[in-house]
């Protein structure tokens, strides 16, 4: 009895060829197998010959009266069935409801939570899950690695090589503010003129590799105004850690007007001029998901409804900032 020959290492085999093979193996009749697959018999025969050529083996013994599996065909059959089962499982997984869309909101309590809430209303049958990565540059690394789907932040502050791989939709001009210790001399003011911070060191995320776009915004804002960016400090996660670090270092913190209240501190908007942080939705180019479509729609819808997309008078923005709508 002839032993089955070893298959040579084939190229990637088209699942269609394996489907043709298993159909003929099941029917042991080319005409019936072609009818089962809804293809012409000539096309089926051509696929079998192509598969035999790629494997370098004869898979069927053909006579004028019958078709039987060869020894190599018998050996291939269980592998082919497992491959096709896995292929069908993969197809079904993506034919079903899409996976959850992972949306980074940067920090709890910010305005983008209302955008996510509206997007959820637009696609109630899909899951949009919030994440909090604290910094757009850090979030974009996760997006490009496939561990996040979307985030919000200052698109123009990203490295151009990162921007080239992202889609962007502008959401809002966000007014900037400063967080001060309650006993700071400027804490009694309802608004803090930017010039009154001359001589101060303001913490703006220096040293945090997740937030260089924010530190860059601070450097541009403070340039020529006698304000310094505070040196790196331990990253405070949570209200109590923020309280402890603020009490220890006492550096005012650059923030936005919607930043959640912090213990033993006050939040004061900056004026003269009104500095703005441009915030956009970003995602990896090529991603398709109903939740992402809803998020893009909600970004414009909520931003327009709330007046976020209108630039206030007497405002400051970094010059030549990419990703902003036309003036």
pLDDT score of 251: 85
More confident residue, 9 or 195: 195
Query: 112 with 91, same domain?
Result: no
pLDDT tens sequence across 256-285: 998 888 888 899 999 999 999 999 999 999
pLDDT score of 138: 94
Contacts of 212 (CB under 8 A, 6+ apart): 137, 157, 205
Position 284 in a domain: yes
pLDDT score of 2: 47
Of the candidates 95, 129, 152, which is a domain's last residue?
95
Query: 82 with 167, same domain?
Result: no
Question: How many domains does the chain contain in total?
Answer: 2
pLDDT score of 3: 47
Query: 289 with 178, same domain?
Result: yes
pLDDT tens sequence across 222-251: 999 999 999 887 676 766 777 777 776 778
pLDDT score of 261: 83
Query: 248 with 176, same domain?
Result: yes
pLDDT score of 240: 74
What separation in angstroms does the CA of 42 have from each of 35, 46, 65, 68, 275?
Answer: 12, 6, 18, 18, 72
Query: 44 with 110, same domain?
Result: no
Position 41 in a domain: yes
The CATH code of the domain that includes 31 is 1.10.10.10
Q: Which domain holds residue 125?
A: 101-311
pLDDT score of 71: 93
Query: 143 with 292, same domain?
Result: yes
> Is the predicted pLDDT of residue 190 greater than 80, yes or no?
yes
Position 320 in a domain: no
Query: 146 with 91, same domain?
Result: no
Query: 132 with 279, same domain?
Result: yes
pLDDT score of 96: 58
Query: 169 with 294, same domain?
Result: yes
Position 7 in a domain: no
DSSP at 203: B
Query: 163 with 73, same domain?
Result: no
pLDDT tens sequence across 47-67: 999 999 999 999 999 888 899
Average pLDDT over every residue of 4-32: 82
Position 217 in a domain: yes
Q: Model's pTM, two decimal places?
A: 0.70
Of the candidates 68, 95, 122, which is a domain's last residue?
95
Counting residues of the chain whose pLDDT is more than 90, the rounded percentage is: 66
pLDDT score of 76: 93
pLDDT score of 1: 43
pLDDT score of 77: 93
Average pLDDT over every residue of 139-159: 95
Mean pLDDT of the chain: 89
Position 43 in a domain: yes
Contacts of 312 (CB under 8 A, 6+ apart): 173, 175, 274, 276
Query: 57 with 202, same domain?
Result: no
Position 3 in a domain: no
What is the Cα–Cα distance from 111 to 205, expressed in whole angstroms?
A: 20
pLDDT score of 217: 97
Quickly list H helices, 188-322.
Answer: 212-222, 239-249, 290-305
The CATH code of the domain that includes 223 is 3.40.190.290
Position 316 in a domain: no
Query: 154 with 231, same domain?
Result: yes
Of the candidates 34, 60, 95, which is a domain's last residue?
95
More confident residue, 295 or 132: 295
Distance, first Cα to last Cα, the chain: 83
pLDDT score of 17: 93
What is the Cα–Cα distance from 286 to 283, expressed in whole angstroms?
A: 9
Range 156-163 contact pairs with CB under 8 angstroms and sequence separation of 24 or more: 156/213, 156/278, 156/318, 156/321, 156/322, 156/323, 156/324, 157/212, 157/213, 157/214, 157/216, 157/217, 158/213, 158/282, 162/137, 163/322, 163/323
> Is the predicted pLDDT of residue 300 greater than 70, yes or no?
yes
């Amino acid at each position: 009895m002839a032993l089955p020959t070893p298959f040579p290492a084939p190229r990637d085999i088209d699942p269609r060829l394996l489907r043709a093979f298993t159909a003929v193996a099941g029917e042991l009749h080319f005409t019936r197998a072609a009818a089962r697959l809804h293809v012409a018999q000539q096309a089926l025969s051509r696929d079998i010959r192509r598969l035999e050529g790629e494997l370098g083996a004869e898979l069927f013994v053909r006579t004028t009266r019958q078709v039987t599996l060869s020894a190599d065909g018998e050996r291939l059959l269980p592998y082919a069935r497992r491959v096709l089962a896995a292929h069908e499982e993969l197809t079904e997984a993506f034919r079903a409801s899409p996976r959850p869309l992972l949306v980074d909101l940067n920090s709890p309590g910010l305005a983008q939570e209302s955008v996510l809430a509206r997007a959820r209303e637009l696609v109630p049958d899909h899951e949009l899950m919030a994440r909090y990565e604290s910094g757009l540059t850090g979030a974009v690394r996760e997006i490009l690695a496939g561990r996040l789907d979307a985030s919000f932040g200052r698109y123009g502050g990203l490295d151009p090589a990162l921007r080239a791989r992202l889609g962007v939709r502008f959401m809002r001009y966000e007014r900037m503010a400063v967080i001060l210790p309650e006993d700071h001399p400027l804490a009694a003011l309802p608004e803090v003129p930017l010039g009154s911070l001359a001589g101060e060191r303001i913490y703006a995320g220096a040293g945090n590799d997740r937030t260089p776009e924010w530190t860059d915004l601070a450097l541009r804002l403070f340039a020529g105004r006698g304000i310094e960016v505070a040196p790196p400090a331990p990253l405070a996660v949570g209200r109590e850690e923020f309280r402890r670090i603020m009490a220890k270092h006492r550096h005012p913190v650059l923030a936005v007007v919607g930043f959640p209240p912090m213990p033993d501190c006050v939040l004061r908007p900056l004026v003269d001029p009104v500095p703005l942080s441009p915030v956009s939705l970003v995602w990896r180019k090529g991603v398709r998901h109903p939740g992402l479509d809803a998020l893009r729609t909600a970004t414009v819808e909520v931003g327009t409804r709330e007046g976020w997309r209108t630039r206030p008078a007497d405002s400051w923005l970094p010059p030549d900032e990419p990703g902003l709508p036309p003036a």
